[in-house]
Structure 1
């Protein structure tokens, strides 16, 4: 979505017009390892709902990384992205390729910049005759109309190459008149410089948002280097305070957060409603600043993150099975002509694609055998030990599993002891959902959707269970008329007490003036597709890590060959207690469980 449109929607809504909005900037790392770490960081930081993120542009080979980062963020974090774009040392073909890729990826925001001029002795590569940022803005407008929201850079302390502050402001006005929609400023540490700059911009007739750029101090040397490079003015009161702690890195970071909070509070008191943070690809200082300011927004519009692609803008329903592996779901459904909206059964696409990945996913999960064995265990001597790995994941000590790419949801903490009990008794959990009944939509654990609503969940559990427990489980569940279940193994042997065309809503919400929303379902057909994917991960990603004749390979092969994937739903979301049911099943079969593998 265009940032300018988002701002208009927020400012024209009585409930949100006074909210302080914030955004984060990142730059493309130079290594795959750095990219992997940054994707994780962006995903974590996306949970506090920045209005957008922007990604810097260096040109050359790094430009492809910028484009991949933008695609990844749009597709997998649900964040809108503003991509930096420069016009120096860019051919027309390169420029058009970048802008066309943005359209393909759904990126609708560009920060139009001149870029660094060629160094002395370097030849200028520019066959589109664009010399300044204003030329790039005009080019985008002439060739792409109003498709993009265009941001421009502002300099409260005047651009280093400007002949005068007055000329610098005149040039800024030219960029806005050419089609700039908002201004993001260079970093500063003197709020008075920003206030004076903002006032002069308004006097010139510039009415677009002017967003202050803020960089929390994270190291003394980095601060000195950055302020020297940008020739940033530093008030003596700040430099004196920094000098007192410069030899203690932790105190420097603490001071950096406190200073940024002080600056933001003063900006907000003077009516500033937008804050842009230069993260330097770091997390803690920026997140701490936002938290201390009390402006953090953790509200989810849906229980899952919706990509910010136009093609998926109406998507509102998904099967629960990919809750912990949403990137796979997005990759498998990327070629759908339409996405389910309102009810899964009404408009679901006729087919899932094969398992696939985007370029960014290969970087994200490209790990060596050594790294994966360290992540998932060097060896297994019994099948029961598999449960220890899953418990480690539940506790947050293991980053991901072959079938889980997401961190555990907050709501799982309410049933963690129960989940651990299952995993110590050969019920190896894959997915779960506690029940909730009429919980306010603003609840910090279960809440999602607009304020003033109520959300509901049926209790759900999904696990791998050994073949010797399958018949006892089916017999045991027959006496519970409110429970529905399905099971299937890697050979496609299946059992179920639901119809083959059944769709069961397991999450829904009721909101003022809206139809009942049903964003998460259990779908009979989708479950079997998911089971194929899960068993494939075990067979092709996990087992090959170990020697063929090893005990570990034998244990994991048994997991693939001799276990069923089962999902169970308790349809009584008011008085049902699926946890009690499963614990009773374990208790009644404890002798068989304990004698297995002896």
Structure 2
């Protein structure tokens, strides 16, 4: 079932969903199930599965030259989605990236998903690989998420890359895209960021999931700006509880997300990471309650495969 249909069928009730990481290469899928099982009591209608593009590593050869090697550290997104739908009978939503894919790769990926009965995808540009400062698209790939959305929407209209194909079948994907309540780190302004988000909706996106935030007012302001620009699709907030002191520096640096001063000081005063974890849970509970009271359609938690914190939050609000 499509995400938009889940929201419509909920009749105003706020739904619970979460996002997981594929396991590291060499690990089995049981680690995924261990992170999902404790959260199934909250009846998630869908579970997101991230996709991690290849990374580059360099090996020095005997002649002194460097050999570039492509390494995929977290493979298995498609297989995990199929396993989740088979085991739990809930919709699994794979992320699709511009980075690391040609247009033909993307089309073949979407065909496989369609064959598996997967109804939803999240279209993302993706980040630059660690060895590069700025994002670089594949030679025959997409530079922007809006272009990726357009390709998926075209496939929904039975428009394939090969124009000579006959009797083609249309797919029927519900397309999610990312939104940034504090703007994307590369966007020069919030207005420009909303402009490009609007382009993704125009190209065929059906709903928005936001990056994490810790100040609900920033989310409410973001929603208001989207609505003022004519964006009417559902906007789903993404939430992540702080769990370690290290994240006070990591989150603002990596995601360009601000942390409220009062949250920072609470974490700074905590004796250990167990105390930080409790602070993060309590903060996220209050965020969640306020978002539910505001009529938010879904609360989407970035669990990253660790269920304990999310279960404690969900137990308090759902």
Q: TM-score, normalised by structure 1?
A: 0.46
State the partner residue of 1:55: 49
1:187-245 per-residue CA deviation (whole Å, 9 max, x = no partner) reads: 01111111111101010111111111100112221343123211211111111111111
1:536-555 per-residue CA deviation (whole Å, 9 max, x = no partner) reads: xxxxxxxxxxxxxxxxxxxx
Give the Cα–Cα distance (whole angstroms) in 2 for the partners of residues 25 and 105 of structure 1. 20
Give the Cα–Cα distance (whole angstroms) in 2 for the partners of residues 122 and 189 of structure 1. 27
Give the Cα–Cα distance (whole angstroms) in 2 for the partners of residues 220 and 120 of structure 1. 28
State the partner residue of 1:76: 87
State the partner residue of 1:528: none
State the partner residue of 2:148: 136
Which region of structure 1 is more displaced relative to structure 2, 184-193 or 114-123?
114-123
Contact 2:4 2:234 in 1 (8 A): no
Instruction: Note the 1:74-113 alignment, pairs <5 A.
Output: 74-113=85-124
Instruction: Note the 1:444-459 alignment, pairs <5 A.
Output: none
State the partner residue of 1:169: 194
State the partner residue of 1:46: 40
Alpha-carbon distance, 1:70 to partner: 0.6
Q: TM-score, normalised by structure 2?
A: 0.84
Q: CA RMSD in A?
A: 2.0
1:240 aligns with 2:273: no
Number of aligned residue pairs: 287
Match of 1:178 among 199, 203, 213: 203
Give the Cα–Cα distance (whole angstroms) in 1 for the partners of residues 115 and 18 of structure 2. 23
State the partner residue of 1:153: 178
1:437-489 per-residue CA deviation (whole Å, 9 max, x = no partner) reads: xxxxxxxxxxxxxxxxxxxxxxxxxxxxxxxxxxxxxxxxxxxxxxxxxxxxx
Contact 1:74 1:105 in 2 (8 A): no
For the pair shown, the structure with the greater C-alpha radius of gyration is 1
Give the Cα–Cα distance (whole angstroms) in 2 for the partners of residues 130 and 161 of structure 1. 17
Give the Cα–Cα distance (whole angstroms) in 2 for the partners of residues 101 and 171 of structure 1. 29
Which region of structure 1 is more displaced relative to structure 2, 201-210 or 90-99?
90-99
SS at match of 1:93: helix
SS at match of 2:29: helix
> Higher relative contact order at CA 8 Å, sep ≥6: structure 1 or structure 2?
2
Give the Cα–Cα distance (whole angstroms) in 2 for the partners of residues 67 and 102 of structure 1. 7
SS at match of 1:47: helix
SS at match of 1:220: coil
Contact 2:23 2:31 in 1 (8 A): no
Instruction: Note the 1:246-325 alignment, pairs <5 A.
Output: 247-293=271-317, 295=318
CA, structure 1 residues 189+34, in 2 after alignment: closer, same or farther (shift >3 Å)?
farther
Q: Runs ≥4 in structure 1, deviation > 3 angstroms?
A: 31-35, 60-64, 117-125
Give the Cα–Cα distance (whole angstroms) in 1 for the partners of residues 96 and 301 of structure 2. 19
State the partner residue of 1:126: 138
State the partner residue of 1:215: 240
Alpha-carbon distance, 1:124 to partner: 5.1
Give the Cα–Cα distance (whole angstroms) in 2 for the partners of residues 74 and 62 of structure 1. 23
Give the Cα–Cα distance (whole angstroms) in 1 for the partners of residues 257 and 139 of structure 2. 34
CA, structure 1 residues 179+62, in 2 after alignment: closer, same or farther (shift >3 Å)?
farther
1:413-443 per-residue CA deviation (whole Å, 9 max, x = no partner) reads: xxxxxxxxxxxxxxxxxxxxxxxxxxxxxxx
Contact 2:21 2:304 in 1 (8 A): yes
CA, structure 1 residues 216+34, in 2 after alignment: closer, same or farther (shift >3 Å)?
farther
1:66 aligns with 2:59: no
Instruction: Note the 1:406-417 alignment, pairs <5 A.
Output: none
Contact 2:14 2:295 in 1 (8 A): no
SS at match of 1:183: strand
The unaligned stretches of length 5 or more in structure 2 are 55-71, 158-170
Give the Cα–Cα distance (whole angstroms) in 1 for the partners of residues 181 and 205 of structure 2. 17
SS at match of 1:280: coil
Alpha-carbon distance, 1:93 to partner: 3.3
State the partner residue of 2:3: 3
Give the Cα–Cα distance (whole angstroms) in 2 for the partners of residues 191 and 167 of structure 1. 21
State the partner residue of 2:68: none
